[in-house]
Amino acid sequence: MFSLLAVAGCTNTLTSNEPPQPLLRLVSYDSCERLLPVLREAARKNIHPQGGGATRAEAAPAPATAKDSLSSKTQGSDYSGTNTHTAGVDEPDLVKTDGNRIFVVRQGSLEVIDAASKRITGSVGVDMGAHQLLLQGNQVLVLSSSYSNLSPMPEADSRLTKIAPQATRVQMVNVSGTPKVVGDFRIDASLVDARQVGNLARVVVRSYPRIDYPTKVDDAPVTSWLPSYSVNGTKGQVGCERVKLPDQFSGSSIVTILSFDLGLNSLNDGDPVSVMADGGTVYGSGPNLYLAHDQSWRGRDQRGRTEIFQFDVTQRQAEYVASGSVPGYLINQYSMSEHAGILRVATTMGQIESSVHTLKREGGALNQIGEVSGLGKKERIYAVRFVGTVGYVVTFRQTDPLYTIDLRDPAKPKVLGELKIPGYSAYLHPVGADRLIGVGQDATDQGRVTGTQISLFDVGNLSDPKRIAQFKIPRGHSEAEHDPHAFLYWPATKLLVVPVNNEAVLLKVEDSQLTELNRLTHQQGYIRRSLVIGETLWTISDRGLLATTLDGGTRLAWLPL
């Protein structure tokens, strides 16, 4: 169905001078008859008809070591895996490996490559919108984005633009022999993100009420809010008893967390848990999953606020346990980090200033217990990385201040040091105890960007951070700037691989310098990912896979896709 609603108000919108107002209580209803009036009331207050289109749509066990059950190979020592935010929490990507096999999804096909023989050994058709993979043992979870066809589309006012809602498809592929699709799940909701700990994958999707103008909200059935799904062709719908309501909510969006067990050879209905809320950024700490969504796009307050929702994911079904909010907006999942039970969040308020907030769960609320503000006045955050009790924040407008923040006392975080240099880092990666790699853009003193720069920082003295090496590629741009999955650092040989334009740039990270080893190219293809298996470096583009020695000096195999 078409979603033809626009949000007229936002939940928990506070000015910058007001204290955080977390959503303190969660309510659920045991019947649709009791739930429906509450949904309609919220929609009446916060949603109005709009004649120009649709609301915005956007595209367990303890953490286990990534050790393949088929071999003794271990991630981190025998092979590299996906570059992720948190150790033990995997993230979906277009390439996965278990150290024996490489799995690549492209153009409606899942390809299986044997790393030892360097041959493509299997292939199976999947959804044409497939673009993300998760892997456990012999099961590959394929995530796709497409348009929904689960529900019939109603007649819409001829003056309105017809926009079909997005849908998410999850396919399970068994790769123990000839690859075979063994499970198929579809839901009327757009894919937000996913995380995996051990066998359990959590897939986060978001949907919107399917209510057409000029239909009145009071005439809409409860099914207009609840996403429909199908499991291996059998249709279903998220039940009213699976929906949680915060004290305050707009009724304009519902976030659903689906749970799939990759230890099984099939898919079920995903044990959905839904919350009437927004959630555009996903961060997994292991035992907890956090969803964050800022309200700035609603246009009410350019400084905005970000709502944060915490789920306990230690059990089979995700459990929504707490929520809160902070002023400003997040740039990505690296803006959040949980340490010793404290959630640290870095935000920017418009173009005014940036802050780091510390939050602690108290009952059903994430309450702020500390804050350090005044970072990068009249600048916005470009990169964040939390490492233990230290936070690194990069802001930029004309120059790049790298701030080092002491978080040992969560109630009293404080800035220890600041380094101002031209340009900025968009991704930060810790190397050892006292080094930090930054990937971003070089810039003039006036703030005009000039191309890719890779920086090596000495953060051994947090009060006096220094850049000790810099590698520049004029007019360059790297996917790693906005997607850290494109970044590879292999500690065993201190190898750094970063895609820049249509090349993979290989550098050696030494104590105080960055040394270029090689540059690799594919046949008219843009290299997007790289990984290490044993003594072989693999680079992956939409045209194929190239196997070389770790320094890139000798080509071992080319596998066209």
Give tens-digit pLDDT for 179-214. Answer: 999 999 999 999 999 999 999 999 999 998 887 644
Q: How many CB atoms lie within 10 A of CB 133?
A: 22
State mean pLDDT over 280-306: 78
Q: DSSP class of residue 15?
A: -
- Residue 241, phi then psi, degrees to nearest 5: -70, -15
User: Does 276 have pLDDT greater than 80?
Assistant: yes
318 part of a folded domain: no
Q: In what order do the strands lie in the sheet with 390-396?
A: 380-387, 390-396, 399-406, 414-422
> Residue 447: which residues within 8 A CB-CB, separation 6 or more?
396, 397, 398, 399
Higher pLDDT, 298 or 526: 526
> What's the CA gap between 187 and 538, in Å, rounded?
35
State mean pLDDT over 360-386: 94
245 part of a folded domain: yes
State mean pLDDT over 149-170: 55
User: Does 415 have pLDDT greater than 60?
Assistant: yes
Note the pLDDT tens digit of each residue in 89-121. Answer: 999 999 999 999 999 999 999 999 999 999 999
User: Does 148 have pLDDT greater than 70?
Assistant: no
3 part of a folded domain: yes
For residues 427 and 382, is the Cβ–Cβ distance under 8 A?
no
> What's the CA gap between 328 and 309, in Å, rounded?
16
Q: How many CB atoms lie within 10 A of CB 48?
A: 14
Average pLDDT, the chain: 86
Residue 173's nearest CA partner among 127, 201, 139 is: 139
State mean pLDDT over 74-86: 96
Alpha-helix residue ranges (DSSP H) falling in 81-210? none
User: Does 130 have pLDDT greater than 60?
Assistant: yes
Which secondary structure element, helix H or strand E, spans residue 44, and what is its range? helix 32-46
Q: DSSP class of residue 259?
A: E
> Residue 127: which residues within 8 A CB-CB, separation 6 or more?
108, 142, 144, 146, 169, 171
pLDDT at 155: 42
Higher pLDDT, 187 or 225: 187
The bridge status of strand 449-458 relative to strand 466-474 is antiparallel
Return the CA Rg of the chain.
24
State mean pLDDT over 293-319: 76
> What's the CA gap between 342 and 542, in Å, rounded?
41
Query: Three-state SS across 461-502?
Result: CCCCCEEEEEEEEECCCCHHHCCHHHCEEECCCCEEEEEECC
User: Does 60 have pLDDT greater than 70?
Assistant: no
For residues 209 and 47, is the Cβ–Cβ distance under 8 A?
yes
**Which of 43-57, 250-264, 320-334, 498-512 is predicted least confidently?**
43-57
376 part of a folded domain: no
Which secondary structure element, helix H or strand E, spans residue 37, and what is its range? helix 32-46
pLDDT band at residue 447 using 50, 70 and 90 as cut-offs: confident
Residue 423's nearest CA partner among 355, 474, 353, 349 is: 474
Q: How many CB atoms lie within 10 A of CB 523?
A: 10
Q: DSSP class of residue 177?
A: S
For residues 325 and 308, is the Cβ–Cβ distance under 8 A?
yes
pLDDT band at residue 289 using 50, 70 and 90 as cut-offs: very high
pLDDT at 1: 34
With H, G, I as helix, E, B as strand and everything else as coil, classify residue 36. helix
Query: How many DSSP H helices and E strands does the chain contain?
Result: 1, 42
User: Does 48 have pLDDT greater than 80?
Assistant: no
Note the pLDDT tens digit of each residue in 308-364. Answer: 999 999 999 999 899 899 999 999 999 999 999 999 999 998 778 899 999 999 998
176 part of a folded domain: yes
pLDDT at 451: 96
Residue with tokens 């006392």: 409
- The tokens for 105 are 């999804």
With H, G, I as helix, E, B as strand and everything else as coil, classify residue 240. helix
State mean pLDDT over 130-151: 88
% of the chain at pLDDT higher than 70: 83
Residue 392's nearest CA partner among 427, 368, 360, 366 is: 427
pLDDT at 197: 97
Domain hosting residue 203, numbered range: 1-278
pLDDT at 149: 60
Which secondary structure element, helix H or strand E, spans residue 42, and what is its range? helix 32-46
**Which CA distances in Å does 181 have to 97, 103, 317?**
18, 14, 24
Threshold 0.85, pTM exceeds: yes
Strand partners for 203: 194, 258
> What's the CA gap between 9 and 16, in Å, rounded?
17
User: Does 446 have pLDDT greater than 70?
Assistant: yes
User: Does 5 have pLDDT greater than 80?
Assistant: no
For CA atoms 13, 14, 15, 20, give the dihedral sign: negative
pLDDT at 209: 85
Q: What is the largest CA-CA distance in the chain?
A: 68
191 part of a folded domain: yes
**Which of 135-144, 244-253, 262-271, 410-419 is predicted least confidently?**
244-253
**Which of 9-23, 355-369, 466-480 is predicted least confidently?**
9-23
The bridge status of strand 273-275 relative to strand 243-246 is parallel
State mean pLDDT over 366-381: 93
User: Does 57 have pLDDT greater than 70?
Assistant: no
Domain count, the chain: 1
Q: How many CB atoms lie within 10 A of CB 530?
A: 27
User: Does 33 have pLDDT greater than 70?
Assistant: yes
320 part of a folded domain: no
429 part of a folded domain: no
pLDDT at 17: 44
pLDDT band at residue 165 using 50, 70 and 90 as cut-offs: low
User: Does 10 have pLDDT greater than 50?
Assistant: no
State mean pLDDT over 285-300: 76
